Amino acid sequence: MFDADDRFYLNIHKMELERVKYVLKSYLRTRLAKIERHLLYIVEKDCSELLSQSEIGYAFTVYDKRKTHFNEAFFEKIPKKLNVMEQDPLDDRLSK
């Protein structure tokens, strides 16, 4: 079937394939970590030209989930009078 040289080259080929898969997965994990780390900047400045469509979708999904979580976990428990997130900026301008 396979002699020793063929098995050797087959193993080298498999190892190289595994190395390439590892590098690619590591690169993608790093991209996602950077997106999560700089999420507010990406969303507020609309850096869509720097990201792919799937990365933009991921960034906005994470942003919406975090915003919902913060609202449910923290901001809803603050009295509306003290909650800056609940106040409409137009109300302050109209009252002056």
* pTM beyond 0.75: no
Residue 8 confidence class, pLDDT cut points 50, 70, 90: very high
DSSP assignments along 6-70, one per residue: HHHHHHHHHHHHHHHHHHHHHHHHHHHHHHHHTHHHHHHHT-GGGS-HHHHHHHHHHHHHHHHHH
pLDDT, residue 84, reads 62
pLDDT, residue 87, reads 52
**Chain segment 79-95, per-residue pLDDT in tens:** 777 766 555 543 443 44
**Chain segment 31-63, per-residue pLDDT in tens:** 999 999 999 888 888 888 889 999 999 999 999
